[in-house]
Chain A
Amino acid sequence: MTEKLTRQPFILRNPSILVVLAVLAVFTVAVTLLSQAYGNGTVPTSTVKVLGKTLCLALAAVAMDLVWGYLGILSLGQMAFFALGGYLIGQWLMYARTESIVAASLAGNPIPPTPAELQEGVANQIFGVVGSSDLPLVWAFAHSLPIQLLLVVAVPGLLALAFGWLAFRSRVNGVYLSILTQAMTLALALWLFQNDSGFRGNNGLSGLQNIPGLDAVDQATLSVWFLWASALALGLAYVLAAWLVSGKFGSVVRAIRDDETRVRFLGYPVEGFKLVVFTLAAMITAVAGALYYPQAGIINPAELMPIASIYLAVWVAIGGRGRLYGAIIGAALVSLLSSWFTGGRAPDINLPGYTVNWVDWWQVALGIGFVLVTLSAPKGIAGIVDHLGGIRPPRRATGEVPQPAQEAKA
């Protein structure tokens, strides 16, 4: 890089930021103008919700790309943070809404309810389904929106910090780390599946699409608001992530991905860099989850089974690792395609003697397609963009010794 380049504001050095922000803005405005709440109603509310959710998934994919594409950690536990964010905001949504319902029903009594009675009623409503009537300790702050919002970032952040500190400190790397993150997610999912963990077991939290205090606002309007919020979060996170990976910090992070040992020998605190990126990505993912689940309406522990996190990795891989916009493209494209194909709206293919029903065969096609992308286009869709834009990877000695296995084969 020349002296002149480094003096430029980083946005000018990363024209993709402007493109992404512009596309995002145009998309948001277009959907708003076509929505039922603010436009001519071409786009039904359910589609607005799907688009809003897709933006949240893209946000999670950006965080995944930070961790995997830039830092080189294939984390198979990102959806744990996503779901945690959803659970934490869901606690407030469910508590506050149940409280207003219980208060309304108790208001019919001759004697006004005491705070204890109110809370007992709420607990009964929420936890009756798992045979409990006590409010668990983890719900202690559920009545307060500011605290729960803080927890949305703090809890996944602390979890990532603790897990990362343990794992990075003992130099767990590569495939081991992937399996370890997967195990962490599985442990969390199994814990949430228990009825006595305080999160309603496999019932999960439901009714999240109703925002307490906004009963007068209909779902059509709410869906657009959430779309705006999701787009805003995605834009902000994109700028933050691009800024993070553009400067010297970003260079070190990419260096860690390419050869961790050398970076360590150069005197950089590798664990510190990894922790910062891993924790930040967890927080971004949690925010994405907190925006996603009010639009989805329901969250249950199945959402964070390891398979979900692997799908996230699949999206990023198809979109293109190491390119932030690739993550957005991959997540948006594959998740929309998935919901289209599995939604039963895709036309069946009539082969002689067999009808290919996409609901049954989409997973097979996705799996095979994914193998093909990994084999033949490791840079994913972003690789094609790079090729069209004439961006070439810098030529440098890789230090990789040609594999004898391949020599012998040739």
Chain B
Amino acid sequence: MIRPLIVLALALLLALPAAANPALEAVIAGNLDQIEKPSRRTVEPLVAQIAATGPEGLALLSAWADRSLGVTDDGRLLIVDGDAVTDAVTGQPVPGADPKMLRPNSGVRGVIESALVAGEISSPDPARRAAALASIARDGTAEHLAALRAAPAEADPALAAQRDRVTALLAIRFDPDPAARVAAIEAMSGDVGLDFRAALNPLLATTRVAAPAGPEANIARALSAGEADFPREAAIALLTSQGILQPRLTPADQRNALAANIVDGRVGGIPVAELSDPAARDRAYEALEAAGAVAPAATEAEVEAAIDAHRFFEIYAEPNSDVTDAARAAETGAQVRLAAMTGIDLGLDALSLASIYFLAAIGLAVTFGVMRVINMAHGEFIMMGAYTGYVVQTLVANRTLSLVVALPLAFAVTFGAGVILYRLVIRHLANRPLETLLATFGVSIALQQLAKNIFGTQARPLTAPAWLEGAITINDVISISSIRVAIFVLALLFLGLFLFIMKRTRLGLEVRAVTQNSGMAASMGINPDRIAMMTFGLGSGIAGIAGVAIGLFAQVTSELGQQYIVQSFMTVVVGGVGNIWGTLAGAALIGGLSKVIEFMNPANTLAAQTFMILFIIIFIQFRPRGIIPQRGRAAEA
């Protein structure tokens, strides 16, 4: 931490006119012996005197602490910085000097450092105070604590708060008075900052020992061999590492020992051919042990006796139990608050995943949910939207503008694709859902391969504009990336749009009429075929926009749609067909559960997906028509 201070001091030195500093000169002249052979106990007043002489004094101190101060034969002090040598008093360069370097011990350097910090933290310049505080927060020592406490009151409120926090953290670690440490811990309990937890951790570090009786130490807890987090093997390993027990014989050691003692095809009198039996190996080893040919190994009985004769403890490295108790309590409190915040963070994650699922599924909710047309190529429409975004981005350099262009264009492209698919394929397979499923699947593999042929197999980047990068961070635990917030907003927007179209427009009215009773709607002058086509195009268009949104955070590949198609269908089916709120509920359920399962088993996202699908299969057993089932005649269709 000395370096920044030196740099600061040197920079100041260079800025100042190279004037002699008579006060400093006088101090040096009067205390040259002390400077050359400083003592930890007596150096403090001298350091204070030097520090009081101004910037030159501080520069001298930092050079001294950094072991870059030299003394010449005629009693001048020189600061050596690489090849440059300057006079500590005048600041003038001294070419060709060959000073004797001073090597103060660590105690003395500690005194100097705290004096420097004291100088820095009481500096009139707020930037230097802030730099000094940051430097202490990174790597504080006991001397810093004293310096911080001795420093004059801080005027800047933000710096004052930071200084109080740094002081408290240093007090937890270095205060000689246990009561003060406990007080500091208790004052800060409830804080979830990483620095606070880092300060607590060394206090709570434990080691395990085995002893015949309770040791004279700050015992965290007693262990008994065989409990869940202290299995018998751990006890044996601990006893062995403390030299109480001889190492156990591993099967490999046993085999090697036996192999080294084969005499005339026999080991310990037992024929080699019989040694494929573990019991025979034990007998052979015992025979060798009795003959003194091999080192004795701990037998099971010895192990048992050693375990019985010893008690096992976890002891704190920190000797004072009041401190560890307070730290433990604070740590527990921090853990509780941390768990709550992790819960909030998890909730945000789940919300964002749910909005992705919702976005991917909302188009399906239109085509499958409202129209009952199953479209396995829906995922490929999402992919088409993403590739549209990519193509637009290669043409329009401005990221924001390209996004503004890409969204409606993706809608237009996939709307068109949807209408074509409807006219060419789906219309001819009306009321034959399984055939529709298969035919649209054929479309899906053709489109996927087509995308592969056009864009290649490698992932294409679709970069978000700069204002969507980064994250909204609330504290060390809770943060969410801006892009996910944007997707959440987009999902809400679509929900609103969908509701508006379905409930407030002529098209929505006609769609609802056709879904409820196509024949009656037709006799009222509605063209069901046109309505079906429009609805299908709308659902496909929304898939295209979802594709742009998904492409912003996922890699755009020809398999992009495949990753979402099963989840999307699950979302619609779990939620309940024919109801947008059901789709919302389905997305929330699937997104939330995925995150919870992932949280419980974070190393294994595959397991999370597996369990999620199993859950859905079982869920369908109990609510075959989804969370919000459709009622009335339309449900029977």
Partners in one complex: yes
Flag whether B607 is at the interface (Cβ < 8 A): yes
Question: Given A363-B449, A403-B430, is A187 in contact with B614 using a C-beta cutoff of 8 Å?
Answer: yes
Does any Cβ of B come within 8 Å of A23's Cβ? no
List 14 additional A-B contacts (Cβ < 8 Å) besides A179-B566, A363-B445, A404-B519: A111-B267, A112-B276, A114-B275, A114-B281, A116-B251, A175-B433, A179-B570, A184-B613, A186-B613, A187-B613, A190-B610, A363-B446, A368-B442, A369-B442
Write out the residue numbers on chain A whose beta carbons fall within 8 Å of the beta carbon of B607.
190-191, 194
- B429 at the A interface (CB under 8 A): yes
Q: How far is B618's CA from A271's CA once the two chains are assembled, in angstroms? A: 18
Chain A residues with Cβ below 8 Å from B448 are 363
Find out whether the CB atom of B272 lies under 8 angstroms from the CB atom of A169. Answer: no
Q: Assess the B621–A169 pair: CB atoms within 8 A.
A: yes
The yes or no answer to A36 lying at the interface (CB within 8 A) is no
Q: Which residues of chain B have C-beta atoms less than 8 A from A163's C-beta?
A: 617
Given A74-B437, A112-B273, A174-B433: A371 in contact with B443 (beta carbons within 8 A)? yes
Bitwise, A170-188 to B at CB < 8 A (1) or not (0) is: 1110111011101110110
Q: Confirm or deny: A266 has a beta carbon within 8 angstroms of a beta carbon on chain B.
A: no
Residue of A nearest to B265 (CB): A110
A370 CB contact (under 8 Å) in B438, B616, B624: B438
> Which B residues are CB-close (under 8 A) to A307?
445, 562
Identify 28 residue pairs between A and B in the complex whose beta-carbon atoms are under 8 Å apart, listed by A's number.
A111-B267, A111-B272, A111-B281, A112-B275, A114-B275, A114-B276, A115-B276, A116-B278, A176-B573, A183-B566, A190-B606, A190-B610, A190-B613, A191-B606, A191-B610, A194-B604, A307-B445, A314-B438, A314-B442, A361-B449, A366-B442, A367-B442, A367-B444, A369-B442, A370-B441, A371-B443, A374-B439, A408-B522
Instruction: Say yes or no: A407-B374 contact (C-beta < 8 A), given A116-B278, A179-B569, A182-B566.
Output: no
The segment from B150-158, B312-320, B526-534 found at the interface with A is: B526-534
Contact status A371-B439, CB under 8 Å: yes
Contact partners of A116 in chain B: CB under 8 A: 251, 278
Are B449 and A170 closer than 8 Å at their CB atoms?
A: no
Q: Identify the interface centre among B278, B430, B528: most chain A CB within 10 Å of its CB.
A: B528
Q: How far is the CA of A313 from the CA of B529 in the complex (A)?
A: 29
Q: Chain A residues with Cβ under 8 A from B211's Cβ?
A: none
- B430 pairs with A405, CB closer than 8 A: yes
Q: Which of A183, A374, A406 contacts B430 (CB 8 A)?
A: A406
The answer to whether B255 touches A183 (Cβ under 8 A) is no
What number of A-B contacts does a CB cutoff of 8 Å give? Answer: 173
CA distance A176 to B429 in the complex (A): 18
Complex Cα spacing A179 to B620, Å: 11
Q: Is the CB of A405 within 8 A of B518?
A: yes
Partner of A364, one of B446, B527, B562, B621: B446
Bound state CA distance, A184 and B276, in angstroms? 45
> How would residues 273 to 311 of chain B score, 1 for a CB under 8 Å from any chain A CB and 0 otherwise?
101111001000000000000000000000000000000
Chain A interface residue number, banded: 35 or more
Asked if A193 is at the interface of the complex by the 8 Å CB criterion, the answer is yes
Known A117-B251, A310-B441, A374-B435; judge A176-B624 contact (CB<8 A): yes
- Given contacts A110-B262, A114-B277, A368-B442, is CB(A306)–CB(B566) below 8 Å? yes
**Closest CB of chain B to A29's CB: distance in Å?**
36
Contacts A187-B614, A191-B606 given: A403-B621 contact, CB under 8 Å? no
Q: Which residues on the A side are within 8 Å of B570 (C-beta)? A: 179, 183
- B-contacting residues of A (Cβ < 8 Å)? 74, 109-117, 163, 166-167, 169-172, 174-176, 178-180, 182-184, 186-187, 190-191, 193-194, 196, 306-307, 310, 313-314, 317, 360-371, 374-375, 378, 403-409
Residues of B contacting A407 with CB < 8 Å? 519, 522
A371 touches B425 (CB 8 A): yes
A109 to B256, CA, bound (A): 10
- Contact A112–B621 (Cβ < 8 Å): no
B residues 242-283 near A (Cβ < 8 Å) are: 251, 255, 258-259, 262, 267, 272-273, 275-278, 281
Interchain CA distance A113-B255 in the complex, whole Å: 9
B613 near A374: Cβ-Cβ < 8 Å = no
Give bound CA distance, A18 to B25, whole Å: 118
How would residues 158 to 171 of chain B score, 1 for a CB under 8 Å from any chain A CB and 0 otherwise?
A: 00000000000000
List A contacts of B431 (CB < 8 A): 403
Given A109-B259, A111-B272, A166-B618, CB of A364 within 8 Å of CB of B435: no
CB–CB A114/B278 < 8 A:
yes
| B interface residues (Cβ-Cβ under 8 A, vs A) | 251, 255, 258-259, 262, 267, 272-273, 275-278, 281, 374, 425, 428-431, 433-435, 437-439, 441-450, 452-453, 518-519, 522, 527-529, 532, 562, 566, 569-570, 573, 604, 606-607, 609-610, 613-614, 616-618, 620-622, 624
Q: Within 8 Å CB of B622, what residues of A?
A: 170
Q: How far is the CB of A314 from chain B (nearest CB, A)?
A: 7
- Of all chain B residues, the one with the shortest Cβ separation from A188 is B610
Residues of A within 8 A of B562 (CB): 307
Distance in Å: Cβ of B567 to nearest Cβ of chain A: 9
Secondary structure type dominating chain A contacts: helix
Shortest beta-carbon distance from B624 to chain A in Å: 5
> Which 7 A-B pairs give the minimum distances between C-beta atoms?
A367-B446, A404-B519, A370-B442, A363-B449, A187-B613, A112-B276, A367-B445
Check A184 against B617 for contact (C-beta < 8 Å).
Answer: yes
Residues A111 and B430 in contact, CB atoms below 8 Å apart: no
Q: Which residue of B lies closest to A174 (CB)?
A: B433
* Residue of chain A at shortest CB distance from B280: A114
Docked pose: A378 CA to B432 CA in angstroms: 11
Chain A residues in 8 Å Cβ range of B441 = 310, 313-314, 370
**Contact of B450 with A364 in the complex, beta carbons under 8 Å:** yes
Q: Are B617 and A111 in contact (CB under 8 A)?
A: no
Query: Complex: how many Å from CA A338 to CA B315?
Result: 68
Cβ–Cβ < 8 Å partners of A184 in chain B: 613, 617
Residues from chain A with Cβ under 8 Å of B275 in the complex: 111-112, 114
Determine how close the nearest CB of chain A comes to the CB of B180; give it in whole angstroms: 49
Task: Name A404's contact: one of B259, B522, B610, B614 (CB within 8 Å).
Answer: B522
- Give the docked Cα–Cα distance between A163 and B621 (Å): 10
Chain B residue nearest in CB terms to A169: B621
CB distance from B471 to the nearest CB of A (A): 29
Contacts A183-B613, A193-B606, A367-B446 known; A378 to B435 CB distance under 8 Å?
yes
A171-B624, A175-B433, A175-B437 given as contacts; is B449 within 8 A of A110 (CB)?
A: no
Least CB distance from A117 to B in Å reads: 7
Bound form: Cα–Cα A370–B435 in Å: 11
A166 touches B259 (CB 8 A): no
Q: Is the CB of B258 within 8 A of A111?
A: yes
Q: How far is the CA of A369 from the CA of B453 in the complex (A)?
A: 18
Give the chain B neighbours of A374 by CB distance below 8 A: 429, 435, 438-439, 442
Q: Which residues of A contact B446 (CB under 8 A)?
A: 363-368, 371
Cβ of A111: which chain B residues have Cβ within 8 Å of it? 255, 258-259, 262, 267, 272, 275, 281
Contact B518 A170 (CB under 8 A): no
A74 — which chain B residues lie within 8 A by C-beta? 434, 437-438
Chain A residue, CB-CB nearest to B613: A187
Nearest Cβ in chain B — how far from A56, in angstroms?
A: 22
Q: Are A178 and B522 in contact (CB under 8 A)?
A: no
Q: Give the complex CA separation of A176 and B576 in angstroms.
A: 11
- Please, how many angstroms separate the alpha-carbon atoms of A375 and B617 in the complex? 31
Contact with B624, one of A172, A362, A408 (Cβ below 8 angstroms): A172
CB distance from B13 to the nearest CB of A (A): 58
Query: Measured between alpha carbons, how far is A375 from B439 in the docked complex, in Å?
Result: 8
Residues of chain A lying within 8 A (CB to CB) of residue B273: 112
Other-chain contact of B529, A112, A170, A196, A408 (Cβ < 8 Å): A408
Question: Which residues of B lie under 8 Å from residue A194 when comparing CB positions?
Answer: 604, 606-607, 610
A334 to chain B, nearest CB (A): 12
Q: Which partner residue on chain B sits nearest A368 by CB separation?
A: B446
Q: Which of the listed residues A113, A116, A190, A403 has the most CB atoms from chain B within 10 Å of its own CB? A: A190
**CB–CB A170/B624 < 8 A:** yes
Q: Which residue of A lies closest to B254 (CB)?
A: A111
The answer to whether B442 touches A187 (Cβ under 8 A) is: no
Least distance between A404 CB and chain B CB atoms (Å)? 3
